[in-house]
Copies of this chain bind each other. A is one copy, B any other.
Amino acid sequence: MAESTRLVDLVHERIAGFVTDRASILTSVSEELDPLVDISRRFLSGGKRYRALFCYWGWQAASGEPDGFDPFADDEDSRPSTAVVGAASALEVFHAAALVHDDIIDNSDTRRGSPSAHRLFQSLHRSSGWAGDGADFGRSTAILHGDLLLGWSDELLDDALDELADRAAARRARGEFNRMRTEVTAGQYLDILEERAWPTRDESEFRERAENVIVYKSAKYSVLAPLVIGAAMAGGTDAQLSALRSFGLPLGIAFQLRDDLLGVFGDEQVTGKPSGDDLREGKRTMLIALAREQLPTGARRLLDELLGDPDLDDEQIRLLQSTIRESGAVDEVEALIARNVVRAITALTDAPLTRTARRELTALAETVTRRAA
């Protein structure tokens, strides 16, 4: 765990240093860009850094270093760990960019307990006494802000991969990153499509469609890809990468199923998002698919009617929560989470990965699927 803590600190430092460096370009253009720098700094300093951790432990798992080796030791040998810190930072900056755009798409006011980026820009508009519509300004500038962060994530990754002597490893890691970038965008598209297209689809497909969204929007993106990128950087063998995929996919599915539960039942104090947010957004998650399968026609119709209404009041949220809970869907999702975590951890047994990494990944599997449960 000390290693994980150290990694998170190093990622934080790397990102902060990078932003300071890039801020000098922005400042040279105009001092009017200071808010863009401030909001970037603010957004990039938070988060649980799960993707960075998976990237690091993927790297460690395949690095073949003897147990007890200190990857952050201040000597020549620490070079590969500098590279993996850079890649982990790139993943975090990419994720921040995705969240900025995601919050515009979902019309979310909050992120990590603070205002979302477009709301921060909107506040800037108001406090500056500028003309025109503030909400519009907030959305527009947040689109640009996300674009800026996307570019920056890419620069961080390039810098990291440039440090690797093993060029084949660098190319492989870059390929995995690129594929992840295309796939997660596809997954996000399917996610928002599902909110609108579900009434025109066959009932029998709902569960499968929800699972496809989970796999691409989250499981591969949040867990599998970071692990594989890290392992590829370490020059991992096909067997090692394959073992990490067998661990990462079910764990990623469990991770998102937990997220779906938190999106409906989570405590605002813990999730940083208002309770029931996913209900107002109308997310068609696995939880909803399972609930619909179990509910009698009348209750199902009520669920369909209320889901996605942005103006749901607290009482309606509570009604939906209890409808979903009473359908038995929550228990089913909990069982699915448990089954997928077991599948993930089992994949680590006898996997050709370092002992330390197997131990830490097992612990991490518990952490990311039990959070705020």
A contacts, CB < 8 Å to B: 22, 25-26, 29-30, 32-33, 36, 97-98, 101, 104-105, 125, 128-132, 137, 140-141, 143-144, 146-148, 150-152, 154-155, 158, 162, 171, 174, 178-179, 181-183, 185-190, 192-193, 195-200, 212, 216, 282, 308
Contact = CB atoms under 8 A, between A and B. Distances in A.
10 contacts: A26-B182, A30-B186, A104-B143, A128-B200, A137-B192, A141-B189, A141-B193, A151-B178, A154-B154, A155-B178
A116 to B, nearest CB: 14
Given A197-B130, A216-B29, A185 B101 contact: no
A78 to B, nearest CB: 23
Contacts of A131: 195-199, 308
Nearest to A162: B171
Interface centre among A25, A97, A104, A140 (most CB of B within 10 A): A140
A29 B192 contact: no
Given A29-B187, A151-B185, A158-B174, 5 more contacts: A29-B186, A101-B143, A143-B143, A144-B192, A162-B171
Nearest to A125: B196
A140 B137 CA distance: 16
Max count, chain B CB within 10 A of own CB: residue among A29, A33, A125: A29
A180 B158 CA distance: 16
Given A143-B143, A147-B101, A22 B212 contact: no
A26 B101 CA distance: 20
Contacts of A198: 131
